[in-house]
């Protein structure tokens, strides 16, 4: 008897797990075991329903239908029990098959819900992707505004809105298509902005080159006055290269050469001073000595003046120094102490201007 029940139970539960199985129950005189199988099937499917209700699947589809089918199956099992008590074999068989069919139907529906959940979890989170794209579009808008590119973002805004609507409605395929369109258009806009930015850099570099032309002219005069004719010739050649440069890299390269030459001039002057070729050691009259010193300071001031364009503070100190240089040159009959005080003040002003220029560059 137990062996017969075991066989019946195996086929009954196999019907719950294998969708293609067709539940066939042969006539059995032992109706009690039919009820036992039905009750176990009911208990099994109730556990599965509870698991689904307690899972993170909120508002799972067909929940109402599943519960309705379960209630009908439970009712039929109650009717089965009554039919067995009455000895109504025909009704019992019919109720058993019907109730088990409904339990099988519920099992298939729950399996499909679980499969759909696994499939949904495997899909990308398009809503998060759209959020990242929205932030990237905002960055492109800021860059466009900064570069004064005047780019029309209306199409991008519409695509973004459409993508959000599709994602909200669960249209994964359409959402991905819209995201791909946004990505392509975003790349095009980014390339366009990069080209505009590159062009602006060249314009700024060329403007900087023009400013350095004046600086080179001052350095050429300074080199010639110091007897550094080779350096003066090198500066002339660098000036020509700078004027003809048409890329930021070329302009930057030539400016670095100018800075190096300027440092070389300073080092050479320092060596000359160390070699006791200072102006003070040459026997000149007081006026000649101060004129030489003022000429040096004036050359330095003119050089700093060209470097100070764009810095009001530096220009203030340079222009004040030039004013004192002019005043001192016109009053060389003053006492040596007074003239030296003015020269010291000029040097202090130029030092302040030079510090500001150095920090700004």
Non-local (6+) Cβ contacts of 174 within 8 A are 166
**What residue has token string 């006539």?**
27
Could you list the beta-strand ranges (E) of 149-210: none
Q: Are 99 and 38 in contact (CB under 8 A)?
A: yes
Which residues, including other chains, have CB under 8 Å from residue 226's CB and lie 6 or more apart? Answer: 265, 268, 269, 272
Specify burial of residue 26 (Cβ count, 10 A radius: 0-12, 13-18, 19+). Answer: exposed
Q: Where are the domains of the chain?
A: 2-122, 126-198, 208-360
What angle do helix axes 172-225 and 229-244 make, rounded to 10 degrees?
A: 150
The encoded tokens of residue 343 equal 């020269």
Q: Cα–Cα distance between 220 and 204 in angstroms, integer?
A: 24
Q: Which two tokens stand for residue 143?
A: 């860059």
Q: What share of the chain is helix, strand, coil (3-state, %, to 5)?
A: 85, 0, 15
CA distance readout (Å), 68 to 38, 153, 178, 222, 226 = 17, 52, 40, 100, 105
The pLDDT of residue 109 is 85
Cβ neighbours of 151 (radius 10 Å): 15
Structure tokens at 302: 């003119």
Closest CA to 163 of 199, 196, 128: 128
Q: Which of 209, 219, 189 is nearest to 300 (CA)?
A: 219
- DSSP letter at 180 equals H
Place of tokens 């302040």: 352
pLDDT, one tens digit per residue, over 217-227 is 877 887 777 77
Are 149 and 196 within 8 A, CB to CB? yes
Q: What is the pLDDT of residues 110-135, one digit of tens each?
A: 887 777 666 655 567 778 888 888 89
pLDDT of residue 306: 80
Q: Could you report the per-residue pLDDT of 265-288, keeping only the tens digit for each?
A: 677 666 655 544 444 444 456 677
pLDDT < 70: residue spans in the chain: 1-30, 56-61, 116-123, 205-206, 208-209, 212, 242-248, 251, 254, 258, 261-262, 264-265, 268-286, 361
Instruction: Enter the pTM of the model.
Output: 0.37
């Amino acid at each position: 008897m137990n062996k017969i029940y075991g066989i019946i139970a195996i086929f009954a539960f196999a019907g719950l797990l294998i969708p293609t199985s067709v539940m066939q129950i042969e006539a059995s005189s032992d109706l009690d075991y039919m009820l036992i199988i039905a009750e176990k099937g009911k208990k099994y499917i109730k556990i599965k329903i509870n698991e689904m209700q307690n899972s993170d699947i909120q508002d799972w589809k067909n929940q109402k239908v599943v519960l309705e089918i379960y209630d009908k199956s439970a009712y039929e099992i109650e009717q089965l029990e009554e039919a067995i008590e009455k000895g109504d074999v025909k009704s019992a068989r019919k109720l058993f098959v019907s109730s088990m069919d409904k339990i099988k139907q519920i099992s298939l529906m729950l399996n499909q819900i679980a499969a759909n959940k696994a499939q949904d979890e495997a899909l990308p989170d398009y809503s998060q992707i759209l959020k990242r794209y929205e932030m990237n579009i905002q960055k492109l808008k800021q860059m466009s505004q900064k570069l004064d590119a005047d780019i029309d973002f209306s199409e991008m805004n519409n695509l973004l809105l459409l993508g959000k609507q599709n994602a909200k409605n669960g249209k994964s395929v359409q959402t991905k298509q819209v995201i791909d369109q946004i990505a392509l258009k975003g790349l095009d806009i980014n390339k366009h902005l990069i080209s505009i930015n590159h062009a602006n850099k060249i314009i700024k570099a060329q403007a900087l080159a023009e400013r350095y032309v004046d600086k080179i002219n001052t350095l050429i005069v300074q080199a010639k006055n110091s007897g550094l004719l080779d350096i003066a010739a090198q500066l002339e050649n660098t000036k020509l290269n700078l004027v003809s440069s048409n890329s930021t890299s070329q302009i930057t390269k030539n400016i670095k050469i100018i800075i190096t030459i300027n440092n070389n001039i300073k080092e050479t002057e320092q060596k000359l001073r160390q070699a006791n070729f200072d102006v003070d050691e040459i026997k000149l009259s007081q006026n000649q000595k101060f004129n030489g010193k003022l000429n040096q300071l004036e050359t330095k001031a003119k050089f700093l003046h060209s470097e100070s364009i764009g810095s009001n503070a530096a220009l203030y100190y340079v222009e004040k120094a030039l004013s004192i240089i002019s005043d001192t040159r016109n009053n060389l009959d003053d006492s040596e102490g007074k003239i030296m005080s003015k020269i010291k003040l000029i040097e202090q002003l130029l030092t302040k201007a030079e510090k500001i220029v150095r920090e700004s560059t």
